[in-house]
Amino acid sequence: MDLKKAWIPLLMTGACVWLALAQEEAAEDPFQKPSDWVPPRLVRVQVEFVEVPHEVLTDLLLEFEQESSDTTPLRRKLHEMAGKGEAKVIDTLMVTARSGEKATVESVDEFIYPTEYEPLSLPTTVNEPRRSENPGQRDLDILKSMVNHTVPTSFETRNLGSTLEIAADVDQSGKLVDLNYAPELVWHTGETVWCKHTDSLGNDTMVQMPRIYKISVNSALTCISGQNTLVAVTSPKDEEGRADRSRKVLVFVKCDVMEVK
Q: Are 215 and 162 in contact (CB under 8 A)?
A: no
Any domain includes 196:
yes
Q: Which domain holds residue 224?
A: 39-122+139-259
User: Could you give the number of structural domains in the chain?
Assistant: 1
Any domain includes 156:
yes
More confident residue, 96 or 208: 96
Any domain includes 108:
yes
Phi, psi of 163, rounded to the nearest 5 degrees: -140, 140
Any domain includes 226:
yes
- Using CA atoms, how far apart are residues 114 and 207, in angstroms rounded to an integer? 9
Residues of the chain with pLDDT > 70, as a percent, come to 73
More confident residue, 214 or 153: 214
Any domain includes 77:
yes
Q: Say what the pLDDT of residue 4 is.
A: 53
More confident residue, 109 or 116: 109
- Using CA atoms, how far apart are residues 211 and 197, in angstroms rounded to an integer? 21
More confident residue, 60 or 174: 60
Q: Say what the pLDDT of residue 193 is.
A: 86
Distances in Å between the alpha carbon of 199 and those of 123, 140, 205, 206?
15, 12, 8, 11
* pLDDT tier, 207 (very low <50, low <70, confident <90, very high otherwise): confident
Any domain includes 155:
yes
Any domain includes 188:
yes
Could you give the dihedral angle defined by the CA atoms of residues 196, 199, 202 and 205, in that order, rounded to the nearest 10 degrees?
-30
